[in-house]
C-alpha cells in the first residue's frame, strides 16, 4: 500500500485577516531570487472577483447551516481564495478542476489576476505594530491613511524537494519564498505562529491548534486592514440601547449614532443597506438589515454583492449602529467538502505523494466610533454644521450582515454577520 505524506493547509483571517494553508515544499538551499512578474495587460481580475462573489454566497450558506446558535461570523473571501490559489498552482487533474469550480477561478490567468488585485488593493508592504488600548486620535486630527496588507508564506520540511515551477509561481505572483523548518520540532509551530502574529499586528497569534506530525509543508496567507471612517462617529453620541436578537431576546449594547449623514444607500427584494466609507475613498463597509419583519440578517448572495459594488444612490440618513468586537474560526476542509472540494490529493505539481490534511480560517474584527481594523477598526466621526433632513432612518438594532469592499475593484475583503454585538 502506498503511503502519502500529509500536508497542513490553514487559512486564518482577521479584519485584518490571516490565512494559512499547508502543502509540501522543502529544499536544502535557499531558492534563487526571481524577478516579480509584471501583471499582464488583460488579467481576468473581474472574473476572479465574480468567482469570489459566488464562493462567498456558497460559503456563507454553508457556515450558517452549521451555526445553530446564530453566532457572530467574520471571514475573508480574499484570504481563503489566495491560500487555495497558491495550492492551485500545484494542482492537477480532478483536484484542479474542483478548485476551479468551488472558487470560480478564471480558466486562464489566475496567477496574473491575484497579483493584479494585490497590486491594486495593498497599501503597505509591512504591517505596523498593533495600536495599544487608549491610543486614540483627537477629534481635530486628520484621518490616518488606511492600511491594507497582504502576506503569503511557504513553510517546508527541511530536505523536502519541491517542484521548481511551483516555487517559481509562488515567488513571482504571491511573493512567497520557501522557508525551511523542521516539522518534527515544536519550533516549526512557533515559527508559523510568529509569522501569523507579525502579519496580523498581533490580532491573531496562532494558526493551527496542532499540526499532524507527518506535516511536510504549510502555505500561509494573511490579510490585515485598518482604516478610519471618512466621517467618524462622535463618542459623546454613543448611548446604551436595545438590540433584538434573532430569537426575539433583547440585549443592551453601546449604540453609535450619527444624524443626517450623507451616505450611499442600496435596496434589494427584502433588504436595505448603507455604505460607510473609510478615509482615502477606496474602502467601505456596507451594513445590511432586513426590510421585512423577519429578525434574521439578510444573506450575502452573489447578486447582493454585485448590487453593493454598483454603489447605490446618495441619501441623507440617521444611522444607529452598535460597536462590535469578535472573531471566528472555521475548519475549512469540512465546509469545502460540502461545496464540492472532495479531492485534494492530485498535487504532484508541488511534490510527489502529497495531500492536504488540514485547513483553518481565523478572523477577527473590531468596529467602533473611529473606524475598523482588520484586526481592529479605528475611526471617529462628527457633524459640525447643521445637516439636511434625513431621508432614511437606518437602525441596525437587529441582526445584520456586513461587507467590507475594496471600492475600485469590488473585491470583498471581509464579510460576516452580527447576531449579538454584546458577545
| 172 vs 42, higher pLDDT | 172
Same domain, 148 and 46: yes
Same domain, 192 and 276: no
User: What is the mean pLDDT of the segment spanning 169-197?
Assistant: 89
Band the pLDDT of 129: cuts 50, 70, 90. Answer: confident
DSSP H helices in 105-261: 110-121, 164-174, 186-198
User: What is the mean pLDDT of the segment spanning 81-109?
Assistant: 94
- Percentages helix, strand, coil for the chain (3-state, rounded to 5) are 25, 35, 45
Same domain, 344 and 246: no
The cell for 109 is 490567468
Sign of the alpha-carbon dihedral angle for 20, 24, 29, 32: negative
- Has residue 16 got a pLDDT over 50? no
The two beta strands, 371-373 and 283-290, are: unpaired
- Has residue 28 got a pLDDT over 90? no
Same domain, 313 and 241: yes
What is the 8-class DSSP label of residue 347? -
- Has residue 5 got a pLDDT over 50? no
CA end-to-end span of the chain: 49
Most confident of 13-27, 190-204, 304-318: 304-318
What is the 8-class DSSP label of residue 146? P
Position 360 scores a pLDDT of 85
Same domain, 140 and 162: yes
Domain region containing 291: 235-322+369-418
Structural domain includes residue 301: yes
| 278 vs 12, higher pLDDT | 278
User: What is the mean pLDDT of the segment spanning 39-65?
Assistant: 83
Structural domain includes residue 144: yes
Closest CA to 308 of 329, 326, 285, 335: 285
- Asked whether the beta carbons of 259 and 271 are under 8 A apart, the reply is no
Go through the chain and tell me how many residues it has: 423
- Whole-prediction pTM: 0.87
Same domain, 134 and 251: no
The structural domain count of the chain equals 2
Position 133 scores a pLDDT of 45
Position 135 scores a pLDDT of 53
Chain CA centroid to CA 287, Å: 16
Q: Across all residues in the chain, what is the average pLDDT?
A: 81
What is the per-residue pLDDT across 320-329, written as a single tens digit (0 to 9) for each?
999 999 998 8
The secondary element (H helix, E strand) that includes residue 336 is: helix 332-338
Structural domain includes residue 55: yes
The cell for 57 is 454566497
Structural domain includes residue 270: yes
- Annotate 98-123 with b (16+ C-beta within 10 A) or e (fewer): bbbebbbbbeebbbbbbbbbbeebbb
Position 342 scores a pLDDT of 93
To 5 degrees, how large is the angle CA 66–CA 70–CA 76?
A: 70
What is the per-residue pLDDT across 331-370, written as a single tens digit (0 to 9) for each?
888 899 999 999 988 988 988 877 788 888 889 899 999 9
Position 240 scores a pLDDT of 96
Structural domain includes residue 341: yes
- Asked whether the beta carbons of 179 and 156 are under 8 A apart, the reply is yes
The cell for 412 is 470583498
Same domain, 24 and 160: yes
Same domain, 206 and 117: yes
Same domain, 355 and 414: no
- Asked whether the beta carbons of 2 and 335 are under 8 A apart, the reply is no
| 359 vs 263, higher pLDDT | 263
- Has residue 21 got a pLDDT over 50? no
Supply the angle between the helices 302-310 and 45-66 in degrees, to the nearest 10.
130
Position 126 scores a pLDDT of 87
Same domain, 157 and 217: yes
- Domain of residue 318, CATH code: 2.30.39.10
Structural domain includes residue 43: yes
Distances (CA, A) of 131 to 79, 139, 233, 285: 23, 17, 19, 21
- Has residue 19 got a pLDDT over 50? no
What is the per-residue pLDDT across 274-316, written as a single tens digit (0 to 9) for each?
999 999 999 999 999 999 888 899 999 999 999 999 989 999 9
Strand partners, 367: 324, 372
CA distance 296 to 243: 13
Structural domain includes residue 423: no
- Domain of residue 334, CATH code: 3.30.497.10
Same domain, 189 and 260: no
Distances (CA, A) of 256 to 34, 42, 174, 383: 49, 43, 39, 13
Position 141 scores a pLDDT of 67
Q: What percent of the chain has pLDDT over 70?
A: 81
- Has residue 244 got a pLDDT over 90? yes
Structural domain includes residue 117: yes
Closest CA to 380 of 235, 255, 258, 261: 235
Same domain, 110 and 249: no
User: What is the mean pLDDT of the segment spanning 187-204?
Assistant: 88
In this structure, how many other beta carbons lie within 10 angstroms of the beta carbon of residue 28? Answer: 9
Position 217 scores a pLDDT of 84
User: What is the mean pLDDT of the segment spanning 17-31?
Assistant: 36
What is the per-residue pLDDT across 367-393, written as a single tens digit (0 to 9) for each?
999 988 843 221 111 122 334 455 667
Band the pLDDT of 118: cuts 50, 70, 90. Answer: very high
To 5 degrees, how large is the angle CA 163–CA 168–CA 172?
A: 160
Residue 190: partners with Cβ closer than 8 Å, 6 or more residues away: none
Lowest mean pLDDT among 66-75, 90-99, 221-230: 66-75
Amino acid at each position: 500500500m502506498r503511503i502519502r505524506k500529509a500536508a497542513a493547509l490553514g487559512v486564518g483571517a482577521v479584519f485584518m485577516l490571516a490565512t494559512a494553508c499547508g502543502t509540501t515544499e522543502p529544499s536544502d538551499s535557499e531558492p534563487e531570487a526571481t524577478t516579480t512578474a509584471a501583471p499582464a495587460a488583460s488579467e481576468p481580475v473581474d472574473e476572479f472577483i465574480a468567482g469570489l462573489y459566488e464562493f462567498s454566497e456558497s460559503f456563507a450558506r454553508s457556515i450558517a447551516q452549521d451555526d445553530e446558535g446564530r453566532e457572530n461570523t467574520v471571514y475573508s473571501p480574499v484570504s481563503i481564495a489566495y491560500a487555495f490559489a497558491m495550492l492551485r498552482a500545484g494542482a492537477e487533474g480532478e483536484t484542479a478542476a474542483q478548485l476551479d469550480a468551488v472558487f470560480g477561478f478564471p480558466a486562464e490567468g489566475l496567477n496574473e489576476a491575484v497579483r493584479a488585485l494585490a497590486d491594486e488593493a495593498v497599501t503597505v508592504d509591512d504591517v505596523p505594530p498593533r495600536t495599544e488600548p487608549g491610543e486614540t486620535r483627537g477629534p481635530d486630527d486628520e484621518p490616518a491613511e488606511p492600511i491594507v496588507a497582504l502576506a503569503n508564506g511557504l513553510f517546508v520540511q527541511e530536505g523536502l524537494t519541491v517542484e521548481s515551477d511551483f516555487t517559481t509561481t509562488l515567488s513571482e505572483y504571491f511573493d512567497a519564498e520557501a522557508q525551511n523548518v523542521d516539522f518534527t520540532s515544536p519550533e516549526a509551530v512557533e515559527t508559523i505562529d510568529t509569522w501569523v502574529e507579525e502579519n496580523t499586528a498581533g490580532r491573531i497569534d496562532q494558526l493551527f491548534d496542532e499540526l499532524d506530525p507527518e506535516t511536510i509543508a504549510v502555505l500561509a496567507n494573511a490579510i490585515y486592514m485598518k482604516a478610519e471612517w471618512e466621517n467618524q462617529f462622535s463618542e459623546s453620541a454613543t448611548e446604551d440601547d436595545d438590540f433584538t436578537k434573532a430569537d426575539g431576546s433583547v440585549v443592551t449594547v453601546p449604540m453609535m449614532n450619527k444624524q443626517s449623514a450623507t451616505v450611499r444607500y442600496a435596496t434589494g427584494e427584502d433588504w436595505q443597506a448603507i455604505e460607510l466609507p473609510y478615509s482615502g475613498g477606496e474602502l467601505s463597509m456596507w451594513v445590511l438589515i432586513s426590510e421585512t419583519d423577519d429578525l434574521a440578517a439578510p444573506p450575502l448572495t452573489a447578486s447582493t454583492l454585485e448590487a453593493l459594488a454598483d454603489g447605490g444612490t446618495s441619501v441623507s440618513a440617521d444611522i444607529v449602529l452598535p460597536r462590535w468586537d469578535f472573531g471566528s474560526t472555521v475548519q475549512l476542509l469540512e465546509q469545502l467538502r460540502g461545496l464540492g472540494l472532495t479531492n485534494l490529493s492530485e498535487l504532484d505539481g508541488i511534490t510527489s505523494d502529497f495531500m492536504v490534511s488540514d485547513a483553518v480560517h481565523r478572523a477577527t474584527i473590531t468596529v467602533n466610533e473611529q473606524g475598523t481594523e482588520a484586526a481592529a477598526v479605528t475611526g471617529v466621526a462628527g457633524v459640525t454644521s447643521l445637516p439636511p433632513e434625513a431621508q432614511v432612518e437606518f437602525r441596525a438594532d437587529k441582526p445584520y450582515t456586513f461587507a467590507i469592499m475594496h471600492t475600485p475593484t469590488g473585491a470583498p475583503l471581509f464579510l460576516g454577520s452580527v447576531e449579538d454585538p454584546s458577545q
